[in-house]
Each structure stands twice: as C-alpha cells, then as structure tokens.
Chains A and B, each alone.
Chain A
C-alpha cells in the first residue's frame, strides 16, 4: 500500500469536507430550527438565538402530541408490516428467479420494473373509492396494501441480485455430506441469504417510511395517518400560525433513526443497491 502524498491527502480532506457539507447542511439546518423559539423564528439566523426544547415538548407532551405520537406509531407499524410482507413475498420470488428455470422470470422482473414507475397520484382516487366501499379507508391495511407496490419491486430486484450470487452447490454439497434438505437449507443457504434479506428489508423500509401521497389521500384521522402526511397537518398556536418549530422538531425525530441506520449499515446498503457489484 503506497503512502499518500501530501497533495493527495489534502485533496481527500477537501473532498471529505465538501461531501459532508453537501450532505449534512440541510439536516443541520432543520436540526437548528427545531430548537428555536416560535417567536424568534423570523430572525433569519442559522443557529437559534436561544436554544429551547419547547418544540419537542409540544410534539411529545404538548398540543401537537395527539397529532404526532399516533402518526409515529402508524408510520412505524405500517412501514414494518409492509416491509415484512414485501420481503417475505420477494424472498420466495427471488429464490425462484435465481434458482429455478421457468419462463415467467423475465415477465416478473419486467413487471416489477413497470410497477415501480406508476405515478402514485394516478392510483389514489380509484383506490380511495374502492377502499371506501370495502371499509379499508383510513386503516392500516388500507395503506399496507398500496405500500406493497412501492416495496415489492425494489425488494425483488435486490434479492434476486443477492440470490444470484449465492453458490447453490453448497446446499447440494451439504446434502451429499448427509444433511437433510432442511438442514442443508438452514446451515448452508440461510447464513448466506440472511444478509441480503436484511439489506433488502432496510431498503424497503426506507421507501415505505418515505411515502407521502398514499398517506395524505387514503387516510383522514390519526387512526392511520403516517408521519409525512401528519407533518403537512401540523398546527401552530392558532390556525394562522405557521408551525415551523413543531414541524422541524417532528422532522428531526423521524430523521434520527434513519441517520443511525445509515451509519450502522452503510456497507450493506451500498452492496444492496449496487446489486452486489460493490461489496465492502
């Protein structure tokens, strides 16, 4: 490993700083705004004049808690379930695509691509009518089902790519060594497939977590409204006051877990989204 010249080192420091500023400035900005007092919001500085946690109090214990806390619960629950269902379905599909030779392979992958390009707005009004008629409007299930159209395609692609890289002969080798098919599957395949499944779940969760249009169109109360939709409904002290502080605080609360997940699993995410081309 040749040592880096000072010029290269300086270059890399500059690049790193530039990348950090580009990526983190907006996050830092809303972080700072969330600590500003509502009456000092128009001062126009980056940092708060007085650091205050009043916005956080508002969304956790104050007037906005009935809007924020249920929304948080809805988002977490709906996103997790939609991710789980998508990953389960995609695992079976990807296994079939990677291991078996059947003529539907290309069709399914093309369908996945096709489904992912549908404009969501085109789907909401008919879905609204249907959900209203069968009682799924403003329910968790009423969001989980459309979310599958967001999470399934990318899950299928990513998992298919992962599974294609698994050496399936290991399963046969284990069986030759005397293991039952189930043991072979468990001991040889599962450890290799698990990271891929986990990464896919992570990526699918991000997509479900991010949804906005379904959230604002297919819900109307705190029973099922997810956080991005709820952010658009936040209120200030009166119906005319801009709830900048409360929105910023809520935004930070839903961003912190994301940043932590990215921090912990950046290697897996990169591997997953580059279809395994980049591993470590």
Chain B
C-alpha cells in the first residue's frame, strides 16, 4: 500500500469514511433483491459515484443470451459534457475483451484533455459477466481505500448479478412451463370441441339417414313407377306396391322369382346373357339410365316400359334396383302427336293458302308446296333469290321495307303485294306475318300466310267505282229539280252586275258625268260579281242531265248496298249500325242510283250529325216497313246533335255544317218528289233526329 504520509486525523477520517462506504456497499444487495441486472448496475454506479471522487464510472454487462451488451456510464454532475455509454465503450474498446490484468493504468481521457487513471474490474469469477471501469483525472487515483471499495463493490455486484441472472433463468423456465401448460390445455379443449361436434354430426347424420330412409321408403311405396330389386342371381328381392298395378303381380308373390318373369319370352335369353356378361366383365348390355323395353304383365299382355337401373354392393353382394315406368300412354300420345303432325303438315301443304316460315332474323326457313306450285319455283330458287324476283316491281321495295320493320320490331307483318304466278300473271296477295315468341317474349319464329285477294281487290275497286257513281248521281238528281233555282241564284247577281255596269257607263257618259253615281254602281258590280263567283263555285259540279230510269226495286236491297258502301266510314267513326228491315217489303218503282243516293245522303247526314258526339253512344239505325199497304216507309235515326231548324233543312244551300254545301237534303227532297213520295224530319225521343220518307209501293206487286 502506497499510503502517503498525511495528517493522522485526516487519515482516520478517511478510514472512517471508507468503512462507512464499505458498509453501504455491503448493504447494496438488500436493495437488489428481486431486481434485474440493469437495476443492479444502476444503483451500483450511483453508489460508487457518491462514494468515490471519480470522473467516470462505466459498466458493460455481457448478455448471456448473446444479445447486445448492456452499457451504462455515470459522471459527476460537474462534468459538463454528458457522455453516452457507447462513446465510453468505444474509447475502451481495445481492452474490453481482455483480462482486467492487461489493462493500462492510464488512458487518454475520453471526456476531457489529458489522461485518465482507470481501474478496470471484471465482474464474475473470471470476468465472464462483464467489466466495471472507474476513472479519475487525479494522479493519486486509486487510493488504497478507493480500490478496496471498488473491489468489494465489484464482488457484491458479481454476486447480485449472478443471483439476478439465476432468478431470470428461473423465471423464464417457469413462464416457459406455464406457456406449455396453457398450450396443451387449449389443445385439449379444442380436441374436446371437435369430438363433441363429431358426435353431433354423427347423430345428425344418423337422423338424416333415418329420415332419408323413411323418405325413400315412402317414395318407393307411393311411387307410380314399379321399383324392383334383384340380387346377382337375377332373383327378385323386393317389389313395391306399384308393381301390382303395372305388372299385375302382388309384390310378395314376386319375391324369390327371377326377374325374367316380367319379360316377354323373346327377351329372357337376351337378358340372361347380358346380365351374365355384366357380372363377368362389368359391361352393360343396355343403357341403365332409361331404356325403352317391352314388359310382360301377369295376364300375358305385353306393354312398353321405360327402365332405369341402379347398382349397390352390400356385404359383398350386388343388389340391382330397377325403376320401371309404364309408357303405354306416352307412346300413344307420341303416336297421336306424330299423326297430328302428319295431319297438320298435310293440311299446311294442301290448304289453299300460301304459307311460309322465317327465322327471327327474317330468313325464310319453310315454304309450303302451294307457294312453290303457285310461283313455279323450287326451294333452291328461294334460297338463292327469296321474294325479290317474284314481286311486282312496284311492290318489291315497300314490301321489303315493311318486312324489315316487322323483323326489327317484332310487330305483326301486314302488307299487300302482287306475286307472280308461274304463268307470269301477277295477282294481289294479302300478307300476314306473326311472330311466335318464347316465354321471355323473344321471337323464335315467324309464321306467314299469303291470301289471294286479287278478286276481292277488284271488287273493292268496283265498289269504289259505285261510290263514285253515287257522287255523280248527286249531279244527276239535282239538275232537273234545281236548274231553276240555280239559274235564279246565278241570274240575280248577274242581272244586277249587268245593270250596274250599264248604269255606270251611263253616269259616266252623262253631261256632265256623275262620277259619284258611277262609282257606286261600279262598287256594286264588284260586290255582286264576287258573290256570283261564289254561287258558281258551289253549283259548278251539279250540272249534268240524266234521265230518271225507273225500274222495280227492293228498297231493302238498296239499303243493304248503301250500308256496304258506308261500312268503312261507320267502322272508322265507331258508329253502331242497326238495321230493322221488313223482309216482306213490297217493291217500289224507282231509279236505283237516285234511291241509293237518297239513302246514302240520309245515312251520311246521320253520320255527320253524330260527328260532334264525343262520349255518347253513336248509333245509326235504319228501318223499313209498310206504313200502309200502298206505302213503304223508311226511317233513318241517329243519336247526333238533333235538329234546330227542321223547316229549313231541306232548302238548297242551307247547311249547319262547316264544309257542307247544303245540297244533300235538298237533293233528297227532290229525289223523293220525283218518286211521288214524301220526306220529313223530326226530333227523336232521345238525342238525335229521325228522317223518314215514304214511297208508293208498286201496285199489284205488294205481298
């Protein structure tokens, strides 16, 4: 011990402090109890810094787990620069791995200028736990007491750390054990859960099986198909109740007998051979999923069945179950259907209509024989050219357009065109095409019919011609009776015009001229001239002379003809036409065209009178009867607006209609007068009016 001579009091004081310090150091382990290594080191360093006059205390603990070592450093508060433990570690690095004996006593001060005296002490018996380094700038460091305290502290720390390490180890082992116990417990719980679930599943499966078996049994018992099982010897093991109905055998009666009893003679050998081959090779001689076969009833009757088979192996034995359905009815229905199809196709081929079918895209898929015969074409011709070449050139484009529209919209196709016959003659056809649709409304096919309307078309034209004749008859009928009225109508303003003109000239020629009077006359000319122009316009069409040609006529026939002409008109205007014609009506002597005109005008008048009726019923009724044995009466009743001025309605040019000429009823009156009859109008009980006329019945011909 290189104790320097000093003041003995000082010496004693120093030793006392040392002893105190040693006591404190020895007390440290009590604080460490249960603490971890970092806490031990922490308190150790604080204690050392408090006891010793050092500038640096550094500890480095090796981690037993091989992880980064724990480093700590303490400096007195006077030390300006705060050092990080690893910076000290860096400065001491070169010696850290070495034995404490090999350390120098003096190193360059890592925290200030000059050198630092250091004391390195290993922790643990061989320093295996780490190292503690104390350093001071003092040259007399370490004193003997300081070294003693440091050594004791290092030893204490070694013990404490060792204990802490053991404690840590224990704790880890204990927690490891706990973890393993917990894991095992969880595994056991899971296994238990699984087991329960499995048990429940099995239970349910058993229940399902039971109910499924019950269901299957029920199905089999109540099935309308025969269900028959046989073993691998071909012996029947089971037959369900339906077997009795289909085969005529009691199910119990069949059990134990060979399946072949249910087959006609000719099939038995075939069956046995096929069945043996199947057992030997697994090769099936029939399709197991639905084969049509012939079966034999107990009463010897053979009938068609559909058979499906299933196979089941139980206890090493094969069991075959067959489902046999009586398809007699189905067969018959199918035969019937085929027959009906044959009939239908025969009908389609033979009816006097031309028929075609087309795909949804409009492409022709079928043409009946009539259509081919009419056009003198073959299917090939159609495939190549379609309709194009067969239509009248004027009709081809509109027809194609209409068809394209129908295909695009799915709306019914309706068009008229002229189709060339094999001899080159074009005839008019009405084409009707209708789309057949699936359940979603998509077009699946077009069906088309061509109807020859050539003759009808010409009849229509004849009817139109007849209508034109009627309107010409307006002119004929009027002339005789109206010439005077018309001449008057036209002559009055004309006379006035001429007279005014002459007056005008005279006023001008007078000495002196009277311009004012001439002007007045001229103005009257203009006024009257315009008016006569209007009159001329109204009656221009009315002049044409025709002689009345009276023949014996049935008025009912005349009425029927006119109703036919007006058919379109009444249909278009939604007018209900009622007729009440006396079948025993006597004939009259009359001009057919004029009487048609008469009835036509009265009906048209009624139709026009109902024009303003919007919501009420539009009803036009015409009735014929005898008002006396010598007189035939016809009444035309409408539900229109009625009459306001019944006395004037028959006057020429009197009209309540915006576009009317006021001639219709005047003509009627003139026609009736020419036939020695009477015409009058009255207001009906309901809405509308009644026009009636009588004509003398032809004498001697009355019934």
Q: Does A pair with B?
A: no
Give the interface of B toward A (CB within 8 A): none
Give the interface of A toward B (CB within 8 A): none
